[in-house]
Amino acid sequence: MTNAHPFDKHYFHGGARVGGYAGAGYRDFPVHWNTYARVMERTPASVLELGCGRGYVLKRCAAYGKIPAVGLEISEHCYLTRAHDAICSHDVTCAPWPVADRDFDLCVSVAFLEHVPEDELPRVFAEMERTCARGLHGIDIDDRDHFDQTHCTIRPLAWWRARLPKGHEAIDKEDLESGALILPNGIYDGLKLNLGSHTHMFHGWRNLDRGDLGAWAMANGYGFSRVDLRDGIPYDDGIVDLIFLSHVLEHFSYDDGARLLRECRRTLKPGGIARIAVPDTGALARRFLAGTIDDLGELCGADGLSGATLFHELLYGGDHRALYDEPALLRAVRSAGFARGKRVSFGHSASVVMQRETIDLYPEISLFVEAIA
């Protein structure tokens, strides 16, 4: 891997150029639960994940395992769309890593080491040994689909086991992810709605979207209802514990959005929480005026966007119909009848359940507000 690495948005959304994540692209695959479970079987005191992507496994380690979990990731796209904040942008072939000696217990990697050129591996192995007491590595050992052209080192497990540092396990990544879905205890408490979910669904939640996603949801173990939210939320008054409304409200007109927020307030129990995320118009405007909007180019689906064109795409792309900054969203929350609303930070919530079970989108451009019924 070099500074001109191929792991951009194209790699994670279809892989048309050099292979990668085909179909629906990179997302929080259900098998991440199985990887997390097998990591926790090793009872780690802390985890350092190499090539962590957006950090879906890290998020679980921190939220459910309650252990320190940090990731190293070369992809700017993954960093900008991260699911967990403890991700450091770093090319692991560059030593030393920004990690102190023996700072972590367990070094974890999944479908990562085969992307490292063979002549760079000794340096990576040396850093593993310096920074971590032991390791667990799920490796693609036979390039099954021959789609990903970024694979550099395809070797049998015996080859990896002979070269990894002492205490570092190498297993077939298919074995790491295999078997029936392993969900943690306590995930199903309460009635929780994920509104306008598309494929950003959560296990243990009722995911609602107007798309025809029933078969997809069933195949992936999600609870799903096909609902057009413009017609309201099909639940009785005051029975819902939590609502997650992430990058949905901006797709409604202001009037329809106001009605949807009133529906959220109607269905929530007293003291229930609606977590609302929208593009932060104020933050994006400040970036544009400061000349730093181009730093967000990897978020968009087209190459070469910059300046005013990128600013416009981030605000209005994807059929956005409304703009909100913090004062505007808080006014909308109050007008909908919520007792109070408060800006919150990425990945943090007044609800332990919300913080543990949901994954925020687009931390660099989002405004997060929690509205209390």
Count of CB atoms within 10 A of residue 85's CB? 16
Name the residue among 278, 272, 227, 287 with its Cα closest to residue 252. Answer: 278
Residues 143 and 211 in one domain: no
Residues 153 and 219 in one domain: no
Check residue 1 and give its pLDDT: 40
Residue 187 lies in a domain: no
By residue range, what is the domain housing residue 133?
9-177
Residues 172 and 196 in one domain: no
Residues 99 and 240 in one domain: no
Count how many domains the chain has: 2
β 206-209/69-73 pair status: unpaired
Residues 163 and 106 in one domain: yes
Residues 241 and 344 in one domain: yes
Check residue 300 and give its pLDDT: 82
Residue 368 lies in a domain: yes
Check residue 318 and give its pLDDT: 87
Residues 59 and 139 in one domain: yes
- Write the CATH number for 205: 3.40.50.150
- Written as one letter, the residue type at 159 is W
Give exposure, 247-272, as e/b (b: 16+ Cβ within 10 Å): bbbbbbeeeebbbbbbbbbbbbeeeb
Check residue 71 and give its pLDDT: 98
- Written as one letter, the residue type at 6 is P
**Tokens 């109070």 -> residue:** 340
Parts of the chain with a pLDDT under 70: 1-4, 186, 188, 301-303
Count of CB atoms within 10 A of residue 158's CB? 10
DSSP 184: P
Name the residue among 160, 362, 373 with its Cα closest to residue 266. Answer: 373
Calculate the alpha carbon distances from 161 to 141, 142, 155, 172 in Å: 12, 15, 10, 11
Give exposure, 111-124, as e/b (b: 16+ Cβ within 10 Å): bbbbbbeeebbeeb
Helices (H), 100-249: 121-131, 157-163, 173-177, 214-219
User: Tokens for 219?
Assistant: 């195949």
CA angle 22, 246, 189 (to 5 degrees): 100
Residues 168 and 249 in one domain: no
Check residue 185 and give its pLDDT: 77
Residues 155 and 202 in one domain: no
Residues 104 and 211 in one domain: no
Residues 272 and 339 in one domain: yes
Calculate the alpha carbon distances from 185 to 75, 188, 203 in Å: 33, 8, 12
* Cα distance between residue 349 and residue 62, in whole Å: 14
Residues 217 and 91 in one domain: no
End-to-end CA distance of the chain: 50
Contacts of 19 (CB under 8 A, 6+ apart): 11, 147, 148, 149, 150
Check residue 303 and give its pLDDT: 63
